[in-house]
Amino acid sequence: CCKKYGKGSFKSPNDSCNTCKCNQNGDLDCTKNDCNKKNKYDECCKKYGKGSFKSPNDSCNTCKCNQNGDLDCSKNSCNKKNKYDECCNKYGKGNFKSPYDSCNTCKCNQNGDLDCSKNSCNKGSKY
């Protein structure tokens, strides 16, 4: 065994995801990893990268490849985030002139609704 494979660990001659070494009896001792899981994980990482990334299913969750090669994604409710983004896309971020009157300002809140000041618009009329 050692003459054929050398001393120390080496890639299994039977598959690409296990390693072997020669035992004292001259036989191969190999790890017993499920190569399908390993390949599935590698495929997932090739497609999406290692670490966290934006979910391919929506814009408000993140995912990462788990050991089985499946996606583990956060389960945030996207409705609030999408509603907030829609509000900001329509009106912009920060304060803006109220769409209801000319004397108040509004901004988009976290729920995507408008938070507006409540000034009385009749003050200071000079006619």
Q: Is 108 exposed, middle or buried (0-12, 13-18, 19+ CB in 10 A)?
A: buried
Give the separation between CA 63 and CA 75, rounded to whole angstroms: 10
> pLDDT by residue for the chain (127 residues), tens digit each?
878 888 888 888 888 778 999 998 989 899 988 777 667 888 888 888 888 888 888 777 889 998 888 899 998 877 666 778 888 888 888 899 988 898 999 999 887 889 999 998 876 544 4
The pLDDT value given to residue 21: 93
Within 10 angstroms of residue 44's Cβ, the number of other Cβ atoms is 20
β-partners of residue 107 are 115
Distance CA 114, CA 100 (A): 11
